[in-house]
Amino acid sequence: MADAMAVAFLLLATAILAIWLPWSPDRHRVPAPWAVLAGAAVVAATLSGLIEASGVLAIAALWALCAGAVHLRQRGARYAAALGALALALAFTVHAIPGLHPWVVADQIRLSADSAPMTLRLNFDKGIAGLLLLALWCHRPAGHVRHALLLGLGVGLATAVPVVGGVWASGFIGFAPKLPAIAPAWMFANAFLTSVMEEALFRGLLQERLAVALGPRPSARWLPIALASLLFGLAHAGGGPALVLAAGAAGVGYGLAYRHGGIEAAVVAHFTLNAVHFFGFTYPYAAR
């Protein structure tokens, strides 16, 4: 069963990467590669028990709503589809959709002597929602992937200094460099399931749509980043006030990465900061 689950997640990750393959519906009379791989991932996840029938229906609904938010002709219909897609994507993010189950890779383990126990889950719901938002709704600049990757790495490291450093100074985490055995699984989950989904939602959709709505107003330079970062921080309220502040501050860095390098840069910045925390400090936080 674990092998079947691994196949489902590998197909999902490959589908996300396939978004950047050159493909044009006007020149190709076959579905986009990412769509074929996404369908295969859903089939594999269903066969492995990660998804039940209700989960398949929810994925199909999100797929249709994301496509409708972009392609429907009537403005009212597009807005309705967009609101529905946003609400459903949020439900996927907080694992509120029935019939979608996580793969628990490690349960209640300690990564260092003074860290709190953690459970590592691979959440197919968050990954498939991120894939659909990214593929169907987010704007992706063409031809600048290398620049975006380097920019994201630089912004992620620069943002980690005040954000991770500030959390360290507060005593919420401690300095604990390590290379745990679950590092590959954590990197996979954080890159393809967490960073893609959260950046597609908070930067690719919320920040982008706010910037478009404000148009040439001077506030369009800072207000979309500020509001998206505020909402991003509040989305981490379950971790307490320290995590809300840290996530909100990190969101400013991710927002700047998005403005100057697109969604790719934002995803890389997000992953980079989280990797600094994971490999260099107590994770998820210091034991109390």
- Positive/negative CA dihedral, 172, 176, 177, 178: negative
Please, are residues 80 and 65 in contact by the beta-carbon 8 Å criterion? no
Name 83's Cβ contacts closer than 8 Å, sequence gap at least 6: none
Q: What is the pLDDT of residue 141?
A: 59
Tokens of 257: 């990465």
CA distance 288 to 286: 6
Please, are residues 196 and 126 in contact by the beta-carbon 8 Å criterion? no
Enumerate the β-bridge partners of residue 121. Answer: 104
CA distance 240 to 234: 10
pTM for this predicted structure: 0.94
For range 138-154, the mean pLDDT: 81
31 against 38, higher pLDDT: 38
Please, are residues 274 and 158 in contact by the beta-carbon 8 Å criterion? no
DSSP helix/strand/coil, 146:
helix
The model's confidence at residue 252, banded by pLDDT at 50, 70 and 90, is: very high
Tokens of 37: 């791989």
| 257 closest CA partner among 134, 165, 143, 147 | 147
What average pLDDT does the structure give for the chain? 92
